[in-house]
Structure 1
Amino acid sequence: MGSHNKVLFCYLVAATALLIGATAETHTVGNDIGWNVPPGGSIAYRTWADTRDFGIGDTVVFQWSNTHDVAQVSQTEYDNCAATNPIGGIHTTSPYNFTINSTDPYYFMCSVSNHCSLGQKVKIQVGAAASSLTTSAYFTLILAMAIYFSNLM
């Protein structure tokens, strides 16, 4: 029976390590192109965001050169490229760091000239990052319990 407890203990330690490993990440918008008018229109930032797992506590970094800004806006303003009432103001100094603090989607755009209509806008959908590590940890814990109980039989 002692060896069964050791096996369970090892799996519980592994599951705990996975849970602790669920740390915040930093995401630089657009990677190499940064926060600029993207080549190819809005698909560049949509593709970038779709390949990321954003979680609560993560930081989204907007870095640019030349004349740009960052405005967090409502979905309607995002859809219409109109920063008439930006949430938290317009940020004109690069880099601008934004920390994700809820699972609601976030909408950002550049309010300079026609930059938004040229594709300089991004939607950040939250939820996948934290849950993927947590799911792995829970799976490991369930696997450990299954192995433990199968060894008792």
Structure 2
Amino acid sequence: MSVLSLLICLVCLVAPSLAQVGSPIGVTPAEASRFIWTVAPYEDMEISLGQSLSFRYPAFHDVALADDEEAYTSCAKDKMTVTGAIDKGMPEPFVFTPEEVGTYYIVCSVADHCELGQRFVLNVTEASPQADTEPIQVLVAQQPTWAVGVKYDDITARQDTVLNFVSNIHHDVVLINNREAFENCTIGEGNITVEYSAQDFANNPVFNWTVGPCKEYYLACSIGNQGCQAGGHCGGGQKLKVIVEDGTDDCYPQSNPEAAAVCFGGEPLSLEDSSTDEIATEATEAPADGVQAESEGTAAMSSVEADEGEATSGAFAAAPTFVTIIVGAVAFLTLTSI
């Protein structure tokens, strides 16, 4: 076998593993948390006459019908009729039952939620005896979306992997420097680094964040966290732990409530007034309150186009290893042929 043939074989073997390093991962809501009506993308739906839709939503949302396609596309508030008021989605879901066959343009009329994608088209067909009579849950689309109200499973990734966050001006992405602050959502300017601001999302709804060398990273949205109290968007589920499978640096203390309490200007909260256990209890109860406390939004995007340079940087980071293999192979073949 010639040297060239062997080199081609080595490229075929090594190249696939290089392509896998740093492959982009879309930050997508956990499956179990998708039953929520919030500012996020939704797929169009079709049901039979007699069936119903179930909407679960916190305050600062409603269910409205746009008069026609034009009103739906332009989000014209003067052509919307509210059918599910802002206080009807929790604790019991709001159930909407169409009364006739046709097309329904369903939106949220609160603030700029319709413009940011909280809407979908419902097609109602003739009644069917086989149709399920239980209300059908309205679910957030299973695509990259950084939103409040849903939750996010931990992501395990290799160093240099790119994570895609898709959102808008109502959200940011911050890196929290303490595990307990992340778990309790007691965050503020003293224990976070802003990776991508709300204004950044307004300018570009796609943020590409690259995994570093730490064993773990704690990311969240800091909107609505006032005075380091548990809640806000973080307390509403908008947080993410990244576990780095080849991480080498232990960047965060295992347990450090004092550091978790340092939020603003280096001034710690009084641990006597609010113990770690009490803060943890508040954080456990915070998702509903935290969601209700905010007027939030998440861009509805049909796809994520990651920056090609950033998305492939992880793959090329492994290039030195590849070069070493090739050089070694050439040297071996040269020596054996002498």
Q: Same fold (TM over 0.5)?
A: yes
CA contact (8 A) 1:70 1:110 kept: yes
Name the amino acid aligned to 2:180.
T
Q: CA RMSD, aligned part only? A: 3.2
1:55 Cα shift?
Answer: 1.5
CA contact (8 A) 1:82 1:111 kept: no
| 2:119 is aligned with 1:15 | no
1:12–1:82 CA distance, 2 compared to 1 (3 A): same
1:67 Cα shift?
Answer: 1.1
State the alpha-carbon separation in 2 of the partners of residues 16 and 117 from structure 1. Answer: 43
With CA pairs under 8 Å and 6+ residues apart, which has the higher RCO, 1 or 2? 1
Match of 1:71 among 170, 174, 191: 174
Counterparts of 1:2-151 in structure 2 under 5 Å? 12=10, 14-30=12-28, 32=143, 34-39=145-150, 42=151, 45-46=152-153, 49-50=154-155, 53-65=156-168, 67-74=170-177, 75-84=179-188, 85-88=191-194, 91-92=197-198, 93-94=200-201, 95=205, 96-113=207-224, 114-127=232-245
How much identity, in percent, do the aligned residues show? 25
CA contact (8 A) 2:26 2:144 kept: no
State the alpha-carbon separation in 2 of the partners of residues 98 and 9 from structure 1. Answer: 35
1:78 Cα shift?
Answer: 0.6
**What are structure 1's unaligned runs of at least 5 residues?**
3-7, 131-153
1:32–1:89 CA distance, 2 compared to 1 (3 A): closer
State the alpha-carbon separation in 1 of the partners of residues 144 and 21 from structure 2. Answer: 26
Q: Which residue of 2 aligns with 1:142?
A: none
State the alpha-carbon separation in 2 of the partners of residues 14 and 90 from structure 1. Answer: 38
For normalisation by structure 1, the TM-score amounts to: 0.61
State the alpha-carbon separation in 2 of the partners of residues 23 and 88 from structure 1. Answer: 26
**What are structure 2's unaligned runs of at least 5 residues?**
29-141, 225-231, 247-313, 315-338
1:120–1:67 CA distance, 2 compared to 1 (3 A): same
Q: Deviations over 1:62-91 (max 9, x none)?
A: 211351111110212211212222135662
CA contact (8 A) 2:145 2:165 kept: yes
Name the amino acid aligned to 1:123.
K
1:27–1:17 CA distance, 2 compared to 1 (3 A): closer
1:9–1:60 CA distance, 2 compared to 1 (3 A): closer
SS for the counterpart of 2:240 is strand
Name the amino acid aligned to 2:14.
T
Q: How many residues align?
A: 120
1:27–1:38 CA distance, 2 compared to 1 (3 A): farther
For normalisation by structure 2, the TM-score amounts to: 0.30
State the alpha-carbon separation in 2 of the partners of residues 38 and 77 from structure 1. Answer: 19
Name the amino acid aligned to 2:162.
T
State the alpha-carbon separation in 1 of the partners of residues 27 and 18 from structure 2. Answer: 26
Name the amino acid aligned to 2:186.
A
Q: Which residue of 2 aligns with 1:147?
A: none
SS for the counterpart of 2:233 is coil
